Structure 1
Amino acid sequence: MTDSERDSAGAPEPESSWIFCPDPEGMPPIESTSRTPSVPAPDGVPASDPTPEAPSVRDPEAIPGVQALGGKGHHLTRLLMAGVRVPPFVVLRTEAFRAHASDREAGTLPSSLLDALRQALFRAGLEGIPLAVRSSAADEDGARASFAGQFDTVLGVRWEPDGTEPGSPDELARAILRVWASASSDHALAYRSTSAPATPPDSAATPKPVPMGVVLQSMVDADASGVAFSVDPVQGRRNVAVVSAIRGLGEPLVSGDLDGDTYEVQFPDDPRDTPAHPTDPSPPRVTSTLSPQPHMLRLTEGGGTQVVEITATDPPQPVLSTEETVEIARMARDLARSFGTPQDVEWALVEDVDAPRSLVVLQARPITALPDPSPEVAASPDPDQLALSAERRIWDNSNIIESYSGVTTPLTFSFARSVYRDVYVQFCQLLGVSETLLTEQRHVFANMLGLVRGRVYYNLLNWYRLIALLPGYDANRAFMERMMGVEEALGDPPPPPRAGARWRDLGRVVRMVGRMAREYRRLDREVTRFHARLESELAPLAHENLGERSPDELLALYRHLEDTLLHHWRAPLVNDFFAMIVFGVLGRLTERWLPDEPPTLANDLLCGEGGVISTEPARRIMALARTVRNDDALLARLRAQPDDTRLWKELVEGADGREPPHPAFRAELLRYLDDFGDRCMNELKLETVTPHEDPAF
């Protein structure tokens, strides 16, 4: 709809009234390392006069509600009015979404709306600096549902007063349209339908897109960032605040790409009190779990982000001091008292001229699911007394984090746990372990993995117990530690063998070597059979819409695949066993023959190995990128359409009944989906949406 069409349809609201500007006097300034020199006011904007169309708000009662600003915009304004230091921002209200969301098909916004945004950004001092263009849906960050991770955010967007690239109005418009488009994504609509109040049984209506505001907020180059919970979100302890922290920007922590330091701050008030006492009678107790951080994300002068390597220290240095940890924890508890509900707070520490590493709050939302503290936790709030049992447990994710990074759903964990159990029972049977011993040690196989605060870890002691079932414990243990990336070997040696046990173990080694020699000779043939079985079972399902099957049919199909594939995992097991042995031998030989070389030499030597199928998706994606780069029309189309779903339909199905505009590129895309549609980041997680399920991904 054009501007003239809107005018002829009636008397619309002034588009400048759709922009909300909090009072800058209530917002302490934050210096941005990427800020450009100040510039004159845009044409038509007085240098100092207030702008009535973009009202400032100092009275908390005058703060527009979530239906007007969206959840994030409303909560940021509440934080501001509570005196919390918040990066400067303006909000494009949900009215703009209702009026202009359809403009995403055109790939731009009306000039009148962009001009109003231009004036508002100047008023807020946000011209010429990198902005985060963030979703602020009406349902977002609410008490019923958080919508965390469901909508898009665009980082490093600039508005330059002279309209030069890369800070042109088109860049700002594309960012806003992309955020609006995410309100209609399949996963956002599905999330809303499951978290919304129950609908009548006969209701078949498709969930409508969430009314979407947009927050345009200054980005800060954080020295440290993280998340703080005003209460323990896992065990429900009301007197314990939990702080997670990493160096640099917090995006790798929030997305699960990096694990941060975790700090538990135990306040000395009654754990069952909510909210906490206004004053703490004695200092809080801080316990920490440090996580090595190989790199961090920092802001560049151009407004983008860059990965900066971090030099490892021994021992690892904490991200936060005790004083900073307590300050962040108190801030989260203070916000919980102010808002009357436990809070999940994103924060950052920024370097200031006046004081180093001052605290900034990026956003806060209610904790939507909080367990009641168990009687044991309520009676014994000391973290040292909360062990599951007296038995020591060692959790390690050195290797498995590559497969299950970040937070993992219980559904995925329960599936992975059962698969590990079944597969490693088969492995021990293959190596000749008796059925009696396997039955006695069934608890070991059932607990190879653990889910700790939503993340998957190896239950390391059970892996050592598994290796102990096999002959040649010392050698196999060393190979396993190298393969799993365990940097600190278990200090407790196995109990010494009883008289004659060494000879019995030697006999078992000889028998196992004979078994594995036979398996090695058959390996190529077994791999061929395995691939054939895999293809025969999965190929017929590749293009079937399994959503059309009934639950009973799906369960029967799953059981069938479990019987025909998972219970016949011989070839991968034998291959993995020999890979472990050969990799361990290579590591030992490089250390012995080349002692002055770095310990990563064995890995570096294998990097040149060809024919690795797992590298092929990256090569094919690079080929697709080259095709786009060499086709100006195709590149322009991709830039002009911010809605990924619509873009996919245009490229594959064509628009308005026309043939797809780029047939060669379309063919490349479809071939990639056929070959690697199930391959993506976190592909082993059942909750991950793969390119095959959503090609717009």
Structure 2
Amino acid sequence: MQVLGPWTDPASIAARGGGKARGLHKLGSSGFRVPDWTVLGTEVFAEFTTRGGLTDAVTELVALDDLDAALAAGATLRGWIAATPVPSEIRVLVTDAYTRLGDGSIAVRSSVVAEDGPDHSYAGQFDSFLNVNGIDAVLDRVRDCWVSAFSERSLRYAFANKQPPAGAVAVVLQRLIAARASGVLFTANPISGARDELMISAVYGLGEGLVSGAVDADSVVVDKSSGAVLETVVGDKDRLYSAVGEQGCAISDVDAAHRELPVLTAAEIAEITELGRKVQAEFGTPQDVEWALDGEGLWFLQARPITTALGAGPNALIRGAGEVVPDDAQRIWDNSNIIESFNGLTSPLTYTTAADIYGRVYHGYVKSLGVPDEQVRQTEQWTPVLLGYFHGRVYYNLLHWYRMVGVAPGYPLNRKVLEAALGVAEPLPNDIAKTLRPFTFRNPLRRMRSRARTTVTYLRRLFGIDAMVEQFMTDFYRVYDEYDTLDYTAMSGAEAYAAYRTVDRDLVERWGPLMVLDAILLSCTGAMFLLTKVLLPKAPEWFLYAVVGPGADVESAEPARAMKALAEVARADPELTALVNSTAPEQIYPALAGRPDFREQVDAYLDRYGYRSLDELKLETPDLREDPSSLFVMLRSALPDAPLGHRDEAEDYLDSHLHGVRRRVYERLRGKVSRCAAHRERLRFCRTRAFGMVKRMIRVMGRDLAARGVIDEFADVFFLTVHELRGCYESADTAGFRDLVAARKAQRVKDAGLVAPARFVTTGSAFGRAELASQGWVPITDTPAAEAGTVFAGTPSAAGVVEGTAIVVDEPRDVAGGILVAYRTDPGWVAALPSASALVIERGSPLTHVAIVARELGVPTVVQVKDVTKMIRTSMRIRVDGTHGTVTVLAEGEVRDGQ
């Protein structure tokens, strides 16, 4: 037996000194300031048990595989250790270890061999003691450390992690730092899982209050690369003030003046951050480091690997698309009309499901055009990352969408139409757009052969798209009708998962080739715009969008027409109108028990359109069957009588300006575009139905996982990724999912307080919160209201001029004939359109779903109106000019000239 310490070789420390000694030895040998320390190796405890006749008891306990038996044996062994005298040889050794540290107080810490490992930290399972003075006290505390190796909590921890109980125990003696402040440094964020952040927790005095939870700590999150402080939470110093006496800190160190101040200064945070970077570089993995500050500066007291599942926390999702990007390469993120489908905060399950489907569908699209296998494999680098996820919001990974457009012929024209279709406010410069090739070839000849084959295939699809869509619709409804009629209330989670996987594989495989429709629509719309410029050079901008509508009978307008029919029935009955207008939406359906005729019509609507909802592509949003209350929100908005019909300005303009052969040529192309637009709307309806069906399956799985204890409650399923959800039914380890969900919920609360910029740029893969903040991800602040006379310029989408009261909403409620002003819309809003006198959308394009339907219903519309929802307030009088694309704030009582 001998005293070990910094002078001992690393191999002996690793074998005999335990986890804490390993970390201290590595810190000291790497040049970090560590208080003097010694260690009583595992052979000291072995000698103690041998002399006391306890060796067999320890061996038997370690070999037990039953927790209850281990707990009983541990209780007996603890009593024997406490009652066994310390042999004189061990007393001499402990005295030597103690005196090497000089005079003053020391800390006595357990240091088990299995402790502070890469997989299991054993944090808090074994005892440590501060302010220990005198050899007798040191001996008592050493014995207490040995006892704690067999405590109930340590045994339960070992069994929970499928580890053997500790049988080899070392004890570290360390000079005590009279700390002004102390705490813990994590060189990666253990809460969010972000490896590009450090987290510092700090308290006044010694750190025992922090690790025990007796005091509230300050918490600081720092961007690792820049050192910028991202987040600061100042702990409750009143609680700390009442507890410091128990933690060994002089009360005078925490006087009243300190209670309102952060524990650490900016300079101290910077120093801890810099040293934290160096610690991680030396150890090679993220570390959990205990530190202390005294008059001499910063000391590191302990270091161990972080065992939290880093990269699996919310920040594995919250920044980017998971794409490996060269350090000097940029990515442009634009929410344009993606917010029509995924508005605002979107759950991890919805985002990862959408990203997975987008990747597989567009990969199938590329294959369907006859692209060679070598080039198809190249697209696998970017098709899975067409979408990105930032602080809970979904964005287009825009450059890859330009690549996607380049797969089909006609890229120069198609990319211009893409920008219009997506509602991109800033077209990509030509010098960049030309470089965005979907794939490369070994030589020009291979490229020419491939392009020829793709072009021939594309032309076949162009002329055969009608039959192709009809065949898809037949196949889709065969699958949909089979699975939508299943009794999901009687399904087990495993059965729902099996159904989900079957539907997912079947529909995604069939959907890929149909993406050619989007390419065809881009090409035909582009040709239509060019032909319009040639034959009708003076046509107003609104005409370019109104002339290519899918037709008044488009399927996606059916819910609006059905809602109008319900509203007409309710409007004819004053009592029914009063019920809808004055009763809480969630209480209306039960209240209709006394109105069986109307309830039957509502049930018919739910039966036909019950798969719909607001934010209908968000899996977390209940559909109308699950929560019919939103139906009555839309019904309330539709009650004011409003005309419903197609505005014929486009037809009148054509009749006045185009005749003969030129008109016939124009109408032939126009018919093709209209049919393709109608096909696209039909496919969107199919997509909505498919998501509605998947929602029902996921709800079965969510309830099953809650019952199994994998998650705490049903709604937690939406905080899992699609791959994690699949893992729940494919034998993956789900032990950490509850903590993962809790972390993502906490992150969502923080994300809700941030402004989501419409467009921003990142460079490389290693960008963090500081870089995002510089791009506009900042806390929400109030924006002054617009003054009378302010004119907002946007893109005209549906002609007409309307004056009225603005109603700024984030869902279609209480419009009642006013002008609906929204940041974005989704297909679920169409039922509210009949009651809106005009529509203003901050984000979106004239070719988005609601804009198309608004034109068919004759609702003047302006889109892409920057900051309109920030500066327009509900009840303001505004003028919407859907012909010229302007929104004007009016003074009270002001009227337009000529009115």
TM-score, normalised on structure 2?
0.33
Bigger relative contact order, structure 1 or 2 (CA pairs below 8 A, ≥6 apart): 2
More helix by share: 2
Structure of larger gyration radius: 2
